[in-house]
Amino acid sequence: DVKVTQSSRYLVKRTGEKVFLECVQDMDHENMFWYRQDPGLGLRLIYFSYDVKMKEKGDIPEGYSVSREKKERFSLILESASTNQTSMYLCASSPYPLTFGSGTRLTVV
Amino acid sequence: KNEVEQSPQNLTAQEGEFITINCSYSVGISALHWLQQHPGGGIVSLFMLSSGKKKHGRLIATINIQEKHSSLHITASHPRDSAVYICAVERNTGNQFYFGTGTSLTVIP
């Protein structure tokens, strides 16, 4: 069964902290994505990667960076966490099947 | 500008009812995905369609490429179908997705 695994289900961090969200897929997918999901706004793309060391900005990249050193791993970094980054973060990979991780609910206090 | 529009936003049904959720899109696509998200849960892929119709158990998905429209039907709805259903379109580039804001379905026993 194909799988995308996110390292943490829930995280609470303080304002100004550097936060790392990890995502690993076991499907040999080329494409990996980071989205944030907020009520009423749906899924918004932060960054995606189509190959190792390649990345493209999505719709809302400000305040975030990413790293893809290996094909199976895609990390999202919040350089200096702020309260407006409190959200559900979802990692996904493709092509078919488009597969999502179970999400990380991040609270920044 | 929303590339993907879903209707209705919210839907309440009695157990056993036939349910239809609609999705319209405005961009060229290579495939359309229907996704399901239970409260507090991750996102699961239900269907990927590029033409015609697919059926899985009580769920049926159809797509009309010319009209840029897809429907998700649930026959004999059950309380366990209560979830948010999300329509997503995959662009011709294969690594770009647009998401609807979701339809929140509640099935009452």
pLDDT tens for residues B20-65?
999 999 999 999 999 999 988 889 999 999 999 999 999 999 999 9
Which positions ≥6 away from B57 have C-beta within 8 Å? none
Which positions ≥6 away from A67 have C-beta within 8 Å? A74, A75, A77
Instruction: Collapse the DSSP code of B79 into the 3-class scheme (helix H, G, I; strand E, B; otherwise coil) and give the result.
Output: helix
Contact B23/B71 with Cβ under 8 angstroms?
Answer: yes
Q: Give the tens place of pLDDT for each residue, B83-92.
A: 999 999 998 6
Nearest Cα residue in chain A from B85: A42
Q: Which residue in the block uniquely carries the two structure tokens 């429907």?
A: B71
- Spans of chain A, pLDDT less than 50: none
Partners of A65 in the β-ladder: A77
Name the residue among B42, B94, B102 with its Cβ closest to that of A101.
Answer: B42
CA atoms within 13 A on the CB side of A38: 11
* Residue among B45, B46, B86 with most chain A CBs within 10 A, to mutate: B45
**pLDDT score for B107:** 97
